[in-house]
Amino acid sequence: MPTLADLSDALAVGRTSRDLTEECLARIADTEGEGRRAFIKVHADQARAAADFHDQSRRNGAASSRFAGIPVSIKDLFDIAGDVTTAGSIVLRDTLPARRDAVAVARLKAAGFIPVGRTNMTEFAFSGLGINPHYGTPLNAYDRKAGRIPGGSSSGAAVSVTDGMAHAGLGTDTGGSCRIPAALCGLVGFKPTAKRVPLAGAVPLSSSLDSIGPIAASVACCAALDAVLAGEEEGDLPDFPLDGLRLAVPQTLVFDGIDSEVARAFAAAQSKLGAAGVRISDIALRELSELARINSKGGFAAVESYAFHRALIAAKRDLYDLRVLSRIMRGSEQDAADYIDLVSARNDFTRRVRAVTAPYDALLMPTVPIVAPRLRDLQSEEDYGRINLSLLRNPTLANFLDGCSISIPCHRHGDAPVGLMLIGQHGDDARLLAIAGAIESVVAPQP
């Protein structure tokens, strides 16, 4: 699939934004029903008008950026002026339309990106599976006949990119919601340090863990989008020498339940990186075994989502996805003292883990331990819960540490998608993206 740089180059030599936009809209309308499931709302007329504006601006030498006129998708968690933000639910469908764009959406528009529509997601972003009983579940482009899940919660964002309905997707990541669908769908997903991108105008899941990031075709695409979202000047990824790079692979928890395809792809990626001069060290990082106890009452996501939803639940309980509702209601089990203890435990855990990982440039691990399961294998509550926890387990570490993280495809071309995840320190976003770009050049699937 084309990168943002490819599309920018094409626009610079005469390709029109209207062409790109019409191609995306056609894919939404004609992808075996996936467009209908991937998008909750399509902004066809607005997208065409924006494309014509950017084409005229480019002809006049006044393009707002080199990416002006490229279609992107917006997760249904974000306000778009004039739209009702439903957050993948029917609970909010009768609320008033947004009066202004979310900050992240406004920044994308200011850079010339064209939103083609609002993408489907797990209701209120509370699952790593991407299943939605209200709007349908968009299916993974890999092995679509088998009906595999896309991962979540930014499910439609990933499918919109794999299927050519958009050239990048704006998502959120509270415990892996950009990186999980990226890993399962063969894309790159970036989770920035939480406060890097303003959350204003996005429906919250957990104010302590939420972050806003992109899903796209390459690390460079994600880096360009991240710069726009963070309000920084966009530039090319700097070269980063792999020779002497220090990566640590935790041995506690992150390989539990790993399937053979993920294990094989991860081992092959390690071998390639070692041959390129990367110094990879196995570390115990036994602190990871404490996370289950620390979050035994549902953690930040449960208590902070319950605070947001309790009035809605009192009025519209029957409209919630029961699987999501049960997870929100776990927040009612925590009192103020529990929450204070949780904050304290997080601070202590973060301090101790950072002390262990400080000598390394990043942590390295499989993004998730399994390839995308089939939708029909998740019908029971037991299977849903077990696989959801499996997908969330590794990615959520970066959110709990308030670090930055990225998932990069590392499978063999034609095999089931597998993600290689890097976790960097708090605020180390630019450096992690540069490292990821260098690693991508070594491990990315080759046709």
Confidence (pLDDT) at 32: 67
- Could you read off the pLDDT of 243-253 as tens digits, one per residue? 999 999 999 99
Q: Which residues contact 3 (CB under 8 A, 6 or more apart)?
A: 216, 217, 218, 220, 221
- Could you read off the pLDDT of 15-39 as tens digits, one per residue? 999 999 999 999 999 866 788 899 9
Q: What is the pTM of this model?
A: 0.97
Taking the C-alpha atoms of residue 114 and residue 352, their distance in angstroms, rounded to an integer, is 43
Confidence (pLDDT) at 446: 80
Backbone phi, psi, residue 273, to 5°? -70, -40
- Structural domains of the chain sorted by starting position, each given as residue range(s) with its CATH number in brackets: 4-229 (3.90.1300.10), 246-287+353-443 (no CATH)
- Answer yes or no: are the C-beta atoms of 179 and 367 closer than 8 Å: yes
Q: Which two tokens stand for residue 431?
A: 């450096």
- Could you read off the pLDDT of 343-360 as tens digits, one per residue? 999 999 999 999 999 999
Those residues of the chain that have pLDDT short of 70 are 31-32
User: Contacts for 350-355 with beta carbons within 8 Å, 24 or more apart?
Assistant: 350/400, 350/401, 350/402, 352/287, 353/285, 353/287, 353/401, 354/401, 354/425
Q: What single string gives the DSSP state of each residue in 335-377?
A: -HHHHHHHHHHHHHHHHHHHHHHTTSSEEEEESSSSPPPBGGG
The H-or-E segment that residue 252 falls in is none
Adjacency order of strands within the sheet including 114-119: 39-42, 114-119, 71-75, 169-172, 212-216, 188-191, 404-409, 419-424, 362-366, 246-250, 279-283
> Average pLDDT, whole number, for the chain?
97
Confidence (pLDDT) at 34: 84
Taking the C-alpha atoms of residue 25 and residue 43, their distance in angstroms, rounded to an integer, is 9
Backbone phi, psi, residue 78, to 5°? -105, 140
Confidence (pLDDT) at 251: 98
Q: Name the residues annotated as catalytic.
A: 75, 153, 177
Confidence (pLDDT) at 33: 73
What separation in angstroms does the CA of 360 have from each of 25, 34, 39, 357? 44, 42, 40, 6
